[in-house]
Amino acid sequence: MMSAMTMLSSDLAQEFESIHKQAVQNAWPMYQLFGLKMASDYPFGSRIPQGQGEMELVFTCQDTAPIAIAWNELEPVYTSIYRTKNNEPAWFLYQIEEYYVAHYTDSIDFYISRQAIIGHILNLELKDSYTMIFLPIILVLWLEFQGIPCLHGSAVVVNEHAVAFLADSGQGKSTLTTAFLQAGFPLLTDDKLPLDERDGGIWARSGTPLIRFFPEVAEMLVEDHRELDLILPGFTKRVAHIERDAQGRFCPIPMPLACLYILERNGMEDAEQKITICSLSQREAVMELIRYDFTTRVNAALGFSVARLGFYSKMAASIPVKRLSYPTRYDRLLEVRSAILEDLDGLT
């Protein structure tokens, strides 16, 4: 007699097989996201670049109820440290034999296999918002499962190389990125930075032509930030499509990584705050890279930490990692951008 876990795994396998068959038979449109060729029937439109070549992954988002799972009877392999308004964990990750399920409390479930990702919306009123916000996070998880690390960072293209900014949420990644877009440097990715080792170096994968920023930052690239969509109802951050909603260009292909800057913003009031850039030792760099790994806690729960340590140690030996201390004031952003460009001179 099959166990409940085996039966659930069998149900998931059937659903994944059905979705994959539909994608092939109906020739679903191909998109490119984080370097992946993803077939999907979801109406992304121009928000994600079109892709070509052999399909690597299938994605669909169902309005139908997900497979009935008694979550309280399963032990999650990871529980989010972030909480909902009702003080519940924001999401849980379950492993069901070879498959994973990311269960976002009261919003959306994602079933994850090596060949496909299936979203099941729990709140249909917010279908598009949930899909566009959470799918990139799930794709980062999918990449991690394939051994491809991802940093919590944004990147722009300077002299045909990627220049990345690492920081926690709300600490200025998108703001500084916007200052570079304003000067004509293309966006490579916002907030999530997947990495590859190739041709003897480290390459940064391209994300989406979307950037999220607060209203006061949005005004640097758009005439009226109120015309931009909120990332989610009740939030102040807006999302803009580069080249359509806002000034700027987007780079859809991977770029060799030239340098990473760890952002450290100073107080807003002191107009005399200096802009300083200092190189980190290899040991310090490894610690910062681990700190800004996008899925550090999940990696630890799943046993991926040793592999990540090896990757980041090798990366820190070949790519400069620097700490950038700069004033928070928006009127100093041009100075910060100039200091970075001067620092980069000769690196690439």
User: Could you tell me the pLDDT band of residue 252, with boundaries at 50, 70 and 90?
Assistant: very high
The confidence score (pLDDT) of residue 7 equals 78
**265, 273 Cβ separation under 8 angstroms:** no
User: Contact 266/325 with Cβ under 8 angstroms?
Assistant: yes
pLDDT at 226: 76
User: Rounded to an integer, what distance in angstroms lies between the CA atom of residue 13 and that of residue 180?
Assistant: 45
Q: Is the pLDDT of residue 9 over 70?
A: yes
Q: Which among 16, 331, 321 is positioned nearest to 166, based on CA atoms?
A: 321
Q: Give the pLDDT of residue 66.
A: 67
Average pLDDT over residues 145-162: 95
Q: Which residue has the tokens 């140690």?
A: 313
Residues 98-112 have a mean pLDDT of 90
Q: What is the per-residue pLDDT for 211?
A: 87
- 25 pLDDT higher than 80: yes
Residue 105 pLDDT exceeds 60: yes
Q: How confident is the model at residue 148 (pLDDT cuts 50, 70, 90)?
A: very high
Q: How confident is the model at residue 348 (pLDDT cuts 50, 70, 90)?
A: low
How do residues 32-79 score in pLDDT, each as one tens digit? 999 999 999 999 888 888 988 899 999 999 877 666 667 777 899 999
Token readout for 341 is 């460009």
pLDDT at 300 over 70: yes
Rounded-to-integer distance, Cα 269 and Cα 325, Å = 15
Task: Give the pairing type, strands 193-198 and 161-166.
Answer: unpaired
Domain range annotation of the chain: 4-145, 150-344
Q: 177 — phi, psi (to 5°)?
A: -60, -40
Instruction: Provide the pLDDT for residue 19.
Output: 94
Report percent pLDDT > 90 for the chain.
Answer: 60
Q: Across the chain, what does the average pLDDT equal? A: 89
For the cut 70, the answer to whether the pLDDT of residue 231 exceeds it is: yes
Tell me: pLDDT of 269 over 60: no
The answer to whether residue 316 scores a pLDDT higher than 90 is: yes
Chain-centre distance of CA 325, in angstroms? 24
Instruction: For residue 1, name the pLDDT band (cuts at 50, 70, 90).
Output: very low
CA distance 86 to 84: 5
Q: What is the structure's pLDDT at 65?
A: 66
Mean of pLDDT values over 175-194: 94
pLDDT at 124 over 80: no
What's the CA gap between 189 and 342, in Å, rounded? 22
| Average pLDDT over every residue of 244-273 | 85
Going by CATH, does the domain composed of 150-344 fall within 1.10.287?
A: no
The pLDDT value given to residue 4: 67
For position 58, what pLDDT does the model report?
97
**pLDDT at site 95:** 92
Position 267 scores a pLDDT of 65
DSSP 118-178: EEEES-GGGHHHHHHHHHHHHHHHHHHHTT--EESEEEEEETTEEEEEE--TTSSHHHHHH
If phi > 0 it is left, if psi is from -120 to 50 it is alpha, else beta; for residue 41 that is: alpha
Q: Are 177 and 336 a contacting pair, CB within 8 Å?
A: no
Give the distance, in angstroms, between the CA of residue 318 and the centroid of all CA atoms in the same chain: 23
Name, in order, each residue with C-beta under 8 angstroms of 163's C-beta and a sequence gap of 6 or more.
155, 156, 157, 180, 258, 259, 261, 340, 344
Mean pLDDT along residues 277-306: 94
* Element housing 189 (H / E): strand 187-189
Run of H or E including 201: strand 201-204
- How far is 9 from 23, CA to CA, in rounded Å? 21
Residue 53 exposure: Cα atoms within 13 Å on the Cβ side: 9
DSSP letters, 242-281, are: BTTTBS--B--S-EEEEEEEEEEE--SS-TTPPPEEEEPP
pTM of full prediction above 0.75: yes
